[in-house]
Amino acid sequence: MTLAPLTVPPAEADTRLDRWLRRRFPWLTQGALQKLLRTGQIRVDGRRAEASTRLAAGQEVRVPPLPEATAPKPAARTTGKVISETEARALQARVLHRDASVIVLDKPHGLPVQGGPGIARHLDGMLEALAFGAERPRLVHRLDRDTSGVLVLARSAPAAAALARAFRGRDVAKTYWAVVVGEPAQPAGRIEMALAREHGARGERTVPAAPGAKDAARAVTDYDVLDRAKRRAALLELRPLTGRTHQLRVHCAEALGCPILGDGKYGGQAAHLEGLPGALHLHARALRLPHPEGGWLEVAAAAPEHMAETMAFFGFANPAPRPPRRLP
């Protein structure tokens, strides 16, 4: 079977391979795409590649001809079927900032950013609701399903490439809020605990890396205690300087000994307090990032309902976020 070569245009350089392919073959499920990559049927400049591979302008991507049966049918398109008008309006109401290049969304708790096994409803499948008369916006980073807050979308391929570089190059300042069980020994500090991914009976987890482990990934988080409740709980501001999977959750539970409230995965039963919401109390409060058109953009999101309820219960301060602003 002859393979059909595709060339990466300059405007789409620095895009993840899986996202680049999904734009061209939107009917492909993530599982099907992963299988094509895993079996070597998709190649970049003649070599096997991973989903996270960053493409360069001029590279040749070879894709096997896809069966006609996999082509999208009108009834399966995102608009009108997967997402209702009510859902679309609700998602649009969560837009914190919109301009010609960027959309910033307040992602709700419990909504996955991308699909996967057993996940039928996810943000990536709803993005046409945020086109606002232009092209479908693109994901440039992600938040965990149960983490709420500030999420950035690009409105064009050049904007996506610029934003992806900013996130990958650590030019983006991220601020999270977390309500934790207990109180850290120090009111402020820096956590430097290398992390690794572990596969076990309970699925994939992030764990503190053993000294000298080959798969250890450097992970650094700065924190401040914003408020406390007699050592029963505390409100933390977390500023990750690296971006490891579940970094903040493991750093709080293992380095500080204070699991994030509702985080049974890493804190077990100790992560729950009777009478309080059981949802994960981790919120992407604010981002400061270089804008694709120049200057800087600062955006913040209010705490989600379950966190606001808990903060009110403990008497923690919960100031309204500053409105989005562009800076030179």
Residue 206: pLDDT band with limits 50, 70, 90: very high
On the question of pLDDT at 271 being above 80, the answer is yes
Tell me how far apart the alpha carbons of residues 57 and 10 are, in angstroms, rounded to a whole number: 5
The confidence score (pLDDT) of residue 122 equals: 93
User: What is the share, in percent, of the chain residues with pLDDT greater than 70?
Assistant: 92
The confidence score (pLDDT) of residue 75 equals: 33
Give the residues across from 153 on adjacent strands. Answer: 103, 139
Please report how the helices 30-38 and 17-24 are oriented relative to each other, as an axis angle in degrees rounded to 10: 120
Residue 88: pLDDT band with limits 50, 70, 90: very high
The confidence score (pLDDT) of residue 82 equals: 57
Bigger pLDDT: 250 vs 64: 250
Tell me how far apart the alpha carbons of residues 174 and 166 are, in angstroms, rounded to a whole number: 12
Bigger pLDDT: 8 vs 141: 141
Section 259-274 average pLDDT: 97
What's the sign of the alpha-carbon dihedral 251, 254, 257, 260? positive
144 part of the active site: yes
- Of the given ranges (7-21, 166-180, 311-325), which has the lowest mean pLDDT? 7-21
Tell me how far apart the alpha carbons of residues 111 and 147 are, in angstroms, rounded to a whole number: 9
The confidence score (pLDDT) of residue 69 equals: 35
With respect to residue 39, please indicate whether it lies within any of the assigned structural domains. yes
Q: Confirm if 289 and 326 have CB atoms less than 8 A apart.
A: no
Burial group, residue 71, by CB count within 10 angstroms (0-12, 13-18, 19+): exposed
User: What is the share, in percent, of the chain residues with pLDDT greater than 90?
Assistant: 65
The confidence score (pLDDT) of residue 26 equals: 66
How many domains are there within the chain? 1
With respect to residue 230, please indicate whether it lies within any of the assigned structural domains. no
On the question of pLDDT at 288 being above 90, the answer is yes
With respect to residue 16, please indicate whether it lies within any of the assigned structural domains. yes
With respect to residue 8, please indicate whether it lies within any of the assigned structural domains. yes
Bigger pLDDT: 10 vs 168: 168
With respect to residue 151, please indicate whether it lies within any of the assigned structural domains. no
With respect to residue 274, please indicate whether it lies within any of the assigned structural domains. no
Say which residue the tokens 């950013």 belong to: 113
Section 178-184 average pLDDT: 98
Mean per-residue pLDDT over the chain, rounded = 89
Name the residue type at position 54: R
Distance of CA 198 to the CA centre of its chain: 20
Indicate which residue of 124, 144, 222, 227 is catalytic.
144
Domain that holds residue 39: 4-67
- pLDDT tens digit sequence for 90-99: 999 999 999 9
With respect to residue 147, please indicate whether it lies within any of the assigned structural domains. no
With respect to residue 24, please indicate whether it lies within any of the assigned structural domains. yes
Please report, for the domain that includes residue 58, its CATH number. 3.10.290.10
The confidence score (pLDDT) of residue 2 equals: 43
Closest by CA to 12, choosing from 142, 135, 171, 169, is 135
